[in-house]
């Protein structure tokens, strides 16, 4: 499965990818958000829930700039979640990503040994 991980790794290594909680905190006064969530605080709470569920890292990817909004807003519709190795922690993290995927109209990922999960916010 390592070959599939390369796509995720290419996403998280781009200049417009950042660890999600730090990125969101850096834009609190400018309205940094995930997808169509209502606020930076709501977006940050979602990311913190991911860490509480066992995610090793939550990376906002494909961050877009909106300089005309609120002095420079940013948004990301995509997260790459790095999963832990321990089976029980992986299961908990996958349950969290699965819940979000289903809320967004997508299917939950099953554990096939990948290191990452992609979440898209419509």
The β-bridge partners of 78 are: 61, 120
Its pTM stands at: 0.90
The answer to whether the beta carbons of residues 22 and 57 sit under 8 Å apart is no
pLDDT tens-digit map of 106-120: 888 888 888 999 999
More confident residue, 72 or 25: 25
- Annotated domain spans of the chain: 2-120
Whole-number Å distance between alpha carbons of 96 and 31 = 25
Q: For the chain, how far is it from start to end, CA to CA, in angstroms?
A: 27
The β-bridge partners of 117 are: 81
The answer to whether the beta carbons of residues 88 and 107 sit under 8 Å apart is no
pLDDT tens-digit map of 47-102: 999 999 999 999 999 999 887 776 778 999 999 999 999 999 999 999 999 999 99
- Asked which of 3-7, 18-22, 76-80 is least confident by mean pLDDT, the reply is 3-7
């Amino acid at each position: 499965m390592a070959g599939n991980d390369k796509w995720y790794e290419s996403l998280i290594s781009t200049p417009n990818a950042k660890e999600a909680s730090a990125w969101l905190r850096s834009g609190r006064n400018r309205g940094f958000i995930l997808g169509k969530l209502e606020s930076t605080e709501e977006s940050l709470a979602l990311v913190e829930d991911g860490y509480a569920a066992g995610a090793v890292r939550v990376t906002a990817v494909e961050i877009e700039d909106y300089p005309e909004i609120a002095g420079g807003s940013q948004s990301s519709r995509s997260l790459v979640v790095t999963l832990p190795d321990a089976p029980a922690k992986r299961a908990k993290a996958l349950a969290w990503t699965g819940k979000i995927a289903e809320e967004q109209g997508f299917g939950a990922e099953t554990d096939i040994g990948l290191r990452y999960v992609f979440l898209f916010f419509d």
